[in-house]
Amino acid sequence: MIRLLRLPLLTAAAAATLTAMILLAGSPAGTPIRPVNVTVSLSPVPSPSPSPSPSPSPGSGCDGCVQPTDTLCWESHPRCFVLVVRVPARANAVTARFKTVGMTARPGIDYVGVDSGTLVIQPNQSSAEISIQLIPNPNAREDRTFGVELFEVSGAGLIRPMATVTIRRSRG
């Protein structure tokens, strides 16, 4: 059984950890727990509008719209995968163009920049991945970030156009 706890001082990360601990509580004692890589993107939940609009606008949290998720990648891995989600899945395909946008990470030094790529979410699928090649940078001392921006989306609305990708320096 899952119980919803209302603790106003919990951060989103603490709430996610608490939820995972509650869900794992039903596992038999001694069951090993494997670490997993998780991508989490929290978007504000929109307030219900007093009158429904005929077609949802971008940023409204519209049903069946797409958004890229913020992602953490380790510098020691050669590729980084940015998940683009569409919830719920629909019967039509979604096509979007994407590009990378330099922030503190620099194209050609920290990652291979993309000027124009195409992403397709197939019919009845709820997600697709964008693969970005990382470049090891031994001179980097801190985490670096870049953006992956969606544009020219067809077949769905767009909740937010850009995800932030953090390249974490590998320890060791």
Both ends of the chain: CA-CA distance in Å?
41
**Which of 19, 20, 15, 24 lies closest to 42 in space, CA to CA?**
15
* Residues 9-52 pLDDT 10s: 333 333 333 333 333 334 344 434 333 333 333 333 333 333 33
Q: Tell me how crowded residue 156 is: count the other CB atoms within 10 A of its CB.
A: 21
Instruction: Indicate the average pLDDT of the chain.
Output: 73
Give me the domains of the chain, ranges plus CATH numbers: 62-172 (2.60.40.2030)
Cis peptide before 88 (omega within 30 of 0): yes
Q: What is the pLDDT of residues 139-155, one digit of tens each?
A: 888 999 999 999 999 99
User: Which sign does the torsion angle of CA 40, 96, 77, 103 carry?
Assistant: negative
Give dist(CA 35, CA 110) in Å, integer.
Answer: 26
Q: Is the pLDDT of residue 170 over 80?
A: no
pLDDT exceeds cutoff 90 at 54:
no
